[in-house]
Amino acid sequence: MHDLLDKVLDLPIRKKQDLINHLKNFITQERFERMLEVLNWRTYFITIVLEDIYQPQNASATVRTCDCLGVQTIHTIENRNRFEVSKGVTLGAEQWVDIHRHINQSPREVCEELKQAGYQIVATSPKATVSLNDFKIERPIALLFGTEKDGLTEEAFASADITIKIPMYGFTTSYNISVSVAITLYQLVHQLHKSNLPWKLTEEQKTDLLLKWLIKDVNRAELIIDKFLSDTDS
């Protein structure tokens, strides 16, 4: 699948658009229109980083939340635990978001890569002094979440530009990880939608993402694409 995606995404923009018009014939019109609608709300402006999440239900709920709120990318740091999802919980959400797995890579290295890509690194912790309610998005952000039991490692905290917390008013001192992701993303995505920040996908990004979705959704996509490219190149 990765080789097919690489080949397709390297095509000239006009060829990509022609391929989209061809592939959409293999799904229903309603399905294609839904893809176009969802694209309008997708963003790379916010991404999340999950450090060593080990419960499949939490991992799955997080993937589902990202899809529901339009967050396209998830980064997983997998040193002690492998990131596994349950399709019964995700309800297919893993098909629509991009999961970038960082296996045996330190939090510092992952955060440095994201900083180089232009992201502000925002760690989440009940011990932070800045409330989620007071945090204002000014540029692309990568939200760090730690394990269900221990939270983020010290290395992850040290790699962050800022640390925020979700307000809590009860005796319990922390939320479940998937709940933390849902609350944080909901509030920040809502803030983003009301802002003048350039959070929406560019037309080129929409084209590339639509192609990815079609390739995953169309039966025997590789054979169809190979024939299309052969016919149009001849």
**Which of 89 and 46 is assigned the larger pLDDT?**
46
> What's the confidence (pLDDT) of residue 225?
92
* pLDDT digits 0-9 by tens, 96-121: 999 999 999 999 999 999 999 999 99
CA distances from 34 to 27, 37, 205 (A): 11, 5, 17
Asked if pLDDT for residue 1 goes beyond 70, the answer is no
Q: Per-residue pLDDT tens for 29-50?
A: 999 999 999 999 999 999 999 9
Question: What is the Cα–Cα distance from 155 to 55, expressed in whole angstroms?
Answer: 22
pLDDT tens digit sequence for 180-212: 999 999 999 999 999 999 999 999 999 999 999
pLDDT average, residue stretch 205-224? 94
Question: What does the DSSP assignment read for 31-91?
Answer: HHHHHHHHHTT-BSSEEEEEES---HHHHHHHHHHHHHHTB-EEEEEESSS-----HHHHT
- The rounded distance, in Å, linking the Cα atoms of 66 and 47 is 9
What residues contact residue 194 under an 8 Å CB cut-off, 6+ apart? none
DSSP 143: E
CB-based contacts of 81: which residues, under 8 Å, 6+ apart? 52, 53, 54, 147
Q: Which helix (H) or strand (E) holds 142?
A: strand 141-145
- Residue 55's pLDDT is what? 83
The answer to which of 73-82, 133-142, 208-217 has the lowest mean pLDDT is 73-82
% the chain with pLDDT above 70: 96
pLDDT confidence of residue 164: 96
Measured CA to CA, the distance from residue 203 to residue 201 in angstroms comes to: 6
Cβ atoms of 40 and 70 within 8 Å: the answer is no
Residue 170 CB-half CA count within 13 A: 5
Dihedral, CA of residue 104, residue 107, residue 111 and residue 113, to nearest 10: -20
Residue corresponding to tokens 């592939």: 23
Q: pTM of the predicted model, to two decimals?
A: 0.92
The Cα 26–Cα 11 span in angstroms is: 20
Looking at per-residue confidence, does 89 or 18 come out higher?
Answer: 18
Tokens of 91: 């309800």
